């Protein structure tokens, strides 16, 4: 089991130097918010994460959850931790003040969320899902639904869930079969949903389910899906939980990781039908889901940063403590002295910093797009947000697999032993490239909706911006090599974009076949871009005698490492992209 | 849970076309053995693997093992399966006829072993470790030790273990503390050993431990380690198990994977000292271990092939069955139609074939080096064996992580659910880059003993041989692109070799810092070399109208895929190698 300490210097460096937090607040109407406040919030969150949530992480992994007659029983200690979390106001950071939220910028909430996800990913999924449900109701629900449900969800008194998947409808939501029958002022919902995260528990006295279902006269496919609010307990006249609704968890999955997060099979309407309330208009459920997708997907990308950071901290502790080399005089030294162990730790550190940079920069676009003062600005930021989201989700979560793998590898034989703690991070991380849209889905989104649909415009703007960093690096004597490396990666990005625009129309399989390499290429390129910016900022601060010189000098090294060890992957990706779909599609199904 | 079917066509293709099995047998004194016999043996092994061992794989994962008063109780059903295995003569394939073995070529035993490791890796570790113990006694033990122990270990009546690691002595065996005190015709052993695979169980009526320990007057460090035979039950006058020796398993580890393989903490000499018998000469224990290292490490490399194959088969079944796309007419299709799912399956298939090719080619060098008819031949094959071993172990097991990862990814959400079976393969695979020398140790072996020590001679010979394949591919119109790609990879290999020879002396951290990239580069290069040869052989057979055309045409595609999608990684590796150790070693320990 490993301790956790929030890497506040790096989080604050990214907020200040890459996001421009104070400017973002000033330009987007966050009038009372500034970096000083943000830093204080992060410090407090760091304490709760380290002291309360992190120690429960291994307990949750060992004990998991169980389904009893009462429903799902969460891990012992989680209820008390959740109450502390809610009472501290941590569930209300992002929500509108209208619903008793604190209205903080998304990028700050993202920085805070990293702490929860590092400390205890299984726990932190519960408020993350609740936040998604709050957004759905806030954006699309009637005034009555909002007033009825939001304040208590925002305060953390109730939690929320998202019910999309069914046994035959995963990625392909067109196949949803759950039915909703109109019945007076409400609907009766019948059907089964699977993979429902925190679908049931005893931590709060109500859970508000958001459920996709079909009305009787709904068109086939994705255009016939509606969204409903289905509370676990129906509310009485005072708005308090009363009679139990006809919905329950019928089983929990036995999973590879995140054992403390109950993944439920939910059954709606075993008796008379679960009472639900339509959100917004009929048949627009999937569109409503799409409006929340950027935040949800970026949230999972952030989990990749968080689990990589936790795994890195564990591996680093082990590498400093484990004596396994013998000096000539017979004394022993720790394995961190070995160059290959260093290589692994540097890979973990450098990649995690790049991932954090991209996650926060992507999160800031949510603020900028949502609050832009003029239309051109809004369009520009919305396009960037849409473009970055699949990269944040896809690239970061894929890279987090490698980082948590290296975390166990640094531990040697102990890495395979569960008590060491590293294996849990490795197992927990494994869900990240799967849920909230697999890597393949992110990649398809990037090549399709985010690139081909706008003829590569959004990507061209990003590439032009990256070029500015190339120029700035190249001008600076100390960063000429990094500038050259970023330029080569940029060329790879340009070539990949051009290839896709030229070939997608001729070959229907081309975009899908190259998509994951395409997404990974742009992930590494964005990482190199932001690490290049980081190096320039760190040098400026060092030259000015500002900031912590040890931290800033280390940043120069992690940026150099990224440029030397991770950026070259863009060229290998490009090479496979240029080969197109031929060898991927050549076999008949029987030849596999 | 997934079925397993031995990919006999591919195994036989590699044996025939890449290894040249009949020529190998003829040239190395395996007089009664030919491909026809080999094929029959593989068919029989395939049946036992599919029908008996594979169904126990998931049961072993779920039930694991437990330590009771009797000692370690293996998973229910394993004892019967083990008896079937031993009675079928499967434990005696490789051993000398002198000890009632069958004396089959190592490369054939390797092909058979793939079946056991695919079917049930946790189970198959038991005979694999026994084989190591048999080799140690056969090569270094006295005639009396051989006659006493080998026949029953070869027949499978008894199993064997290897006891090297101690809590403070993992990679660094210099730190071994276990003591051996002379006491008449035997020694009394006292100490604790950890990570002892199949250290105890109830499947057989004796277990023969091979134990590294220090004599009282032994020199410090690695030159003071001796090797002992320590039976679980001492033998009576008739050579049958009698009195219990003073050795027992005191706990079993709770591991990420291979749950059915007991990983034991073994305690020697809690009472009067465990009775042990010296193998060979005093203080030569570590040297004896090194003589077995090639086979042991290649054996783990083979496990990488095996688990990748099993994971591929599971993913392929799922991809063909899982309906998750909707046609315009509302009918549904399986996910194997999606280009990105194809990409993952092709990556799995192509990589696994390349891994198998290298594993078998490496295994054949054991036969050729061990039985060469003249000294020059012997030296040449021994050098190649030594060179290939860390690549077989290091590259294959690293790549097996990616393949089993993709296996779970193809399963989408179901990949994270334990019942699906894919997650077990992913977890089981995780040990492979750790035990029998981590990836870092393999890589250090490759750059150090296998390259710098002979001034790059062995590598130069391999590179020259690869060039022949480049030339053959380039001459053939249909393979010109593959030839060009292999040539570029070959150049990367040459450049990496030259860089290492030039830089290792100046910078003491250089070899270690670049070692893993160096090893991975040569792994992909060897894979490309053997897949290139495979393509040429497949085309020749197709042109001649021989063999199964569907299989051979598929081989052309997997070779092309390897060339397009995996070979480019050599260039990214080279690029990082050329950067040396600077950014890897720059941080102080406090800056991490």
Cα B410-B414-B420 angle, rounded to 5 deg: 100
Scanning every residue of chain B, which has its alpha carbon at the shortest distance from the alpha carbon of A417? Answer: B255
Nearest to A178 by CA among A269, A249, A246: A269
Closest in B336, B409, B583 to A438, CB measured: B409
Q: Is the pLDDT of residue B339 over 90?
A: yes
Nearest to B349 by CA among A127, A376, A591: A591
Scanning every residue of chain A, which has its alpha carbon at the shortest distance from the alpha carbon of B411? Answer: A434
pLDDT at A87: 97
pLDDT at B293: 87
Closest in B412, B513, B569 to A170, CB measured: B412
Spatial distance between the Cα atoms of B247 and B230, rounded to a whole number of angstroms: 8
Write phi, then psi, for A334 (nearest 5 degrees).
Answer: -80, 155
Average pLDDT over residues A140-156: 97
Task: Supply B423's token pair.
Answer: 């997650």
Task: Encode A291-353 in three state secondary structure.
Answer: HHHHHHHHHHHHHHHHHHHHHHHHHHHHHHHCEEEECCCCCEEEHHHCHHHHHHHHHHHHHHH
Nearest to A170 by CA among B362, B306, B410, B434: B410
Could B560 and A586 be called an inter-chain contact, meaning their C-beta atoms sit closer than 8 Å?
Answer: yes
Task: Encode B145-190 in three state secondary structure.
Answer: HHHHHHHHHHCCCCEEEEECCECCECCCHHHCCCEEEEECCEEEEE
Task: Supply A277's token pair.
Answer: 């309330």
Closest in A170, A413, A585 to B435, CB measured: A413
Q: Is the pLDDT of residue B61 over 70?
A: yes
- Crossing angle of helices A457-475/A510-543, nearest 10°? 30
Average pLDDT over residues B156-167: 96
Task: Supply A576's token pair.
Answer: 């496979």
CB A335 within 8 A of CB A322: yes
Q: What fold characterizes domain B292-437?
A: Butyryl-CoA Dehydrogenase, subunit A; domain 3 (1.20.140)
Q: Is the pLDDT of residue A237 over 80?
A: yes
Query: Burial, B495: exposed, middle or buried (Cβ in 10 Å; 0-12, 13-18, 19+)?
Result: middle
Nearest to B201 by CA among B249, B273, B152: B249
Chain B, 264-283: which have a CB under 8 Å from a chain A CB?
none
Element (H, E) at A125: helix A121-140
Residues B523-568 have pLDDT tens digits of: 999 999 999 999 999 999 999 999 999 999 999 999 999 999 999 9
Report helix, strand or coil for B271: coil
Spatial distance between the Cα atoms of A316 and B390, rounded to a whole number of angstroms: 26
pLDDT at A131: 95
Domain residue extents for chain A: 8-154, 159-285, 292-437, 438-586
Spatial distance between the Cα atoms of A218 and A226, rounded to a whole number of angstroms: 9
Q: Is the pLDDT of residue A307 over 80?
A: yes
Scanning every residue of chain A, which has its alpha carbon at the shortest distance from the alpha carbon of B401? Answer: A405
Spatial distance between the Cα atoms of A228 and A208, rounded to a whole number of angstroms: 10
Query: Burial, B210: exposed, middle or buried (Cβ in 10 Å; 0-12, 13-18, 19+)?
Result: buried
Task: Give chain A's end-to-end CA distance (angstroms, integer).
Answer: 42
Spatial distance between the Cα atoms of A249 and A68, rounded to a whole number of angstroms: 10
Spatial distance between the Cα atoms of A497 and A517, rounded to a whole number of angstroms: 12
A316 touches B at CB < 8 Å: yes
Local confidence band at A291 (pLDDT 50, 70, 90 cut-offs) = confident
Q: Is the pLDDT of residue A194 over 90?
A: yes
Chain A, 159-198: which have a CB under 8 Å from a chain B CB?
165, 168, 170-172, 174-175, 194-195
Q: How far is B427 from chain A (nearest CA, A)?
A: 8
CB contact set of B27 (below 8 Å; sequence gap of 6+): B368, B373
Strand B263-268 and strand B323-326: pairing? unpaired
Q: How far is CA B112 from CA A96, A290, B90, B123, B128, in A?
A: 65, 52, 9, 14, 12
Average pLDDT over residues A524-551: 98
CB contact set of A116 (below 8 Å; sequence gap of 6+): A45, A49, A53, A90, A123, A124, A127, A128, A306
pLDDT at A1: 55
CATH class of A8-154: mainly alpha
Q: How far is B293 from chain A (nearest CA, A)?
A: 18
CB B584 within 8 A of CB A343: yes
Q: How far is A438 from chain B (nearest CA, A)?
A: 7
Local confidence band at B1 (pLDDT 50, 70, 90 cut-offs) = low
| Structure-derived torsion over alpha carbons of residues B572, B573, B579, B582, reported in degrees to the nearest 10 | 120
Could A582 and B576 be called an inter-chain contact, meaning their C-beta atoms sit closer than 8 Å?
Answer: no
CB contact set of A141 (below 8 Å; sequence gap of 6+): A149, A229, A279, A280
Spatial distance between the Cα atoms of B500 and A276, rounded to a whole number of angstroms: 68
When mean pLDDT is compared across A169-178, A410-419, B443-452, the lowest value belongs to A169-178
Spatial distance between the Cα atoms of A193 and A183, rounded to a whole number of angstroms: 21
Q: How far is A427 from chain B (nearest CA, A)?
A: 8
Chosen for mutation from B168, B349, B587 (greatest number of chain A CBs closer than 10 Å) is B587
Q: What fold characterizes domain B159-285?
A: Butyryl-CoA Dehydrogenase, subunit A; domain 2 (2.40.110)
pLDDT at B207: 98
Q: Please give the full DSSP string across A442-487, using - where no structure is assigned.
A: HHHHHHTTTTGGGTTHHHHHHHHHHHHHHHHHHHSGGGHHHHHHHH
Could A256 and B423 be called an inter-chain contact, meaning their C-beta atoms sit closer than 8 Å?
Answer: yes
On chain B, the residues whose CB falls within 8 A of the CB of A221 are 326, 330
Spatial distance between the Cα atoms of A489 and A525, rounded to a whole number of angstroms: 6
Local confidence band at B373 (pLDDT 50, 70, 90 cut-offs) = confident
Average pLDDT over residues B495-505: 97
Average pLDDT over residues B420-439: 97
Task: Supply B522's token pair.
Answer: 């040569």
Q: Is the pLDDT of residue A522 over 80?
A: yes
- DSSP 8-state code for residue B203: S
Catalytic positions of B are 436
Element (H, E) at A274: strand A274-278
CA atoms within 13 A on the CB side of A511: 21
Q: How far is CA A225 from CA A178, A288, B44, in A?
A: 9, 10, 54
Spatial distance between the Cα atoms of A93 and A85, rounded to a whole number of angstroms: 11
Residues A149-193 have pLDDT tens digits of: 999 999 999 999 999 999 999 888 989 999 999 999 999 999 999
Q: Can you tell me which residue has the tokens 């130069």? A: B460
Beta bridge partners of A229: A210, A277
Nearest to B126 by CA among B230, B19, B263: B263
* pTM for this model (two decimals): 0.97
Could A434 and B409 be called an inter-chain contact, meaning their C-beta atoms sit closer than 8 Å?
Answer: yes
- DSSP 8-state code for residue A273: -
Local confidence band at B56 (pLDDT 50, 70, 90 cut-offs) = very high
Q: Is the pLDDT of residue B513 over 70?
A: yes
CB B385 within 8 A of CB B366: yes
A525 touches B at CB < 8 Å: no
B251 touches A at CB < 8 Å: no
Scanning every residue of chain A, which has its alpha carbon at the shortest distance from the alpha carbon of B339? Answer: A513
Local confidence band at A290 (pLDDT 50, 70, 90 cut-offs) = confident
pLDDT at B239: 95
Could A340 and B515 be called an inter-chain contact, meaning their C-beta atoms sit closer than 8 Å?
Answer: yes
Q: Is the pLDDT of residue B583 over 60?
A: yes
Strand B159-163 and strand B207-213: pairing? parallel
Average pLDDT of chain B to the nearest whole number: 97
Q: Sign of the C-alpha dihedral, residues B61, B67, B68, B69? A: positive
Average pLDDT of chain A to the nearest whole number: 97
Closest in B253, B339, B416 to A584, CB measured: B339
Residues A425-465 have pLDDT tens digits of: 999 999 999 999 999 999 999 999 999 999 999 999 999 99
CB contact set of A328 (below 8 Å; sequence gap of 6+): none
Strand B186-197 and strand A241-244: pairing? unpaired
């Amino acid at each position: 089991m490993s301790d956790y300490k929030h890497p506040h210097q790096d989080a604050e460096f990214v907020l200040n130097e890459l996001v421009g937090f104070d400017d973002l607040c000033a330009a987007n109407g966050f009038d009372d918010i500034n970096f000083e406040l943000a830093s204080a919030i992060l410090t407090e969150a760091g304490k709760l994460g380290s002291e309360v949530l992190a120690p429960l992480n291994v307990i949750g992994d060992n004990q998991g959850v169980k389904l009893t007659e009462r429903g799902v029983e969460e891990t012992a200690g989680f209820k008390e931790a959740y109450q502390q979390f809610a009472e501290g106001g941590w569930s209300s950071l992002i929500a509108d003040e209208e619903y008793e939220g604190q209205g903080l910028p998304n990028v700050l909430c993202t920085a805070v969320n990293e702490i929860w996800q590092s400390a205890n990913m299984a726990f932190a999924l519960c408020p993350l899902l609740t936040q998604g449900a709050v957004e759905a109701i806030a954006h699309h629900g009637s005034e009555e639904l909002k007033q009825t449900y939001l304040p208590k969800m925002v305060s953390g008194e109730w939690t929320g869930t998202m019910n999309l998947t069914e046994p035959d409808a995963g990625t392909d939501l067109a196949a949803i079969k759950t039915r909703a029958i109109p019945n007076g002022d409400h609907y009766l919902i019948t059907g089964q949903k699977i993979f429902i995260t925190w679908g049931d528990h005893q931590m709060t006295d109500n859970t508000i389910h958001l459920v996709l279902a079909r009305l009787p006269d709904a068109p086939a496919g994705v255009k016939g899906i509606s969204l409903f609010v289905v509370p676990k307990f129906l509310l009485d006249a005072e708005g308090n939980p009363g009679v139990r609704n006809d919905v329950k968890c019928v089983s929990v999955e036995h999973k590879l990781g995140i054992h403390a997060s109950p993944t439920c099979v939910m059954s709606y309407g075993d008796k008379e039908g679960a009472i639900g309330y339509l959100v917004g208009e009929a048949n627009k459920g999937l569109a409503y889901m799409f409006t929340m997708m950027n935040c949800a997907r970026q949230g999972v990308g952030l989990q990749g940063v968080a689990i990589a950071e936790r795994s890195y901290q564990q591996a680093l502790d082990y590498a400093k403590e484990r004596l396994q080399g013998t000096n000539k005089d017979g004394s022993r030294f720790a394995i961190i002295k070995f160059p290959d162990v260093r290589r692994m730790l540097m890979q973990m550190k450098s990649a995690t910093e790049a991932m954090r940079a991209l996650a926060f920069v992507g999160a800031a676009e949510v603020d900028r797009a949502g609050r832009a003062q003029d239309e051109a600005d809004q369009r520009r930021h919305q396009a960037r947000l849409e473009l970055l989201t699949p990269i944040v989700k896809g690239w970061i979560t894929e890279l987090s697999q490698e980082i948590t793998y290296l975390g166990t590898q640094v531990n040697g034989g102990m890495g395979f032993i569960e008590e060491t703690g590293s294996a849990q991070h490795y197992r927990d991380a494994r869900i990240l490239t799967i849920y909230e849209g697999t890597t393949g889905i992110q990649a398809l989104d990037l090549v399709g909706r985010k690139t081909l649909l706008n003829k590569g415009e959004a990507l061209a703007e990003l590439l032009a911006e990256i070029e500015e960093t190339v120029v700035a690096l190249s001008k600076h004597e100390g960063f000429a090599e990094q500038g050259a490396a970023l330029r080569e990666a940029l060329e790879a990005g340009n070539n990949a974009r051009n290839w896709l625009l030229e070939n997608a129309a001729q070959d229907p399989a081309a975009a899908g076949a190259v998509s994951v390499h395409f997404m990974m290429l742009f992930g590494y390129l964005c990482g190199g871009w932001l690490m290049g910016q980081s190096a320039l900022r760190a040098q400026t601060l060092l030259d000015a005698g500002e900031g912590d010189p040890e931290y800033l000098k280390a940043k120069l090294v992690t940026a150099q490492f990224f440029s030397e060890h991770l950026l070259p992957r863009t060229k290998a990706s490009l090479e496979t992209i240029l080969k197109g779909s031929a060898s991927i599609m050549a076999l008949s199904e029987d030849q596999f």
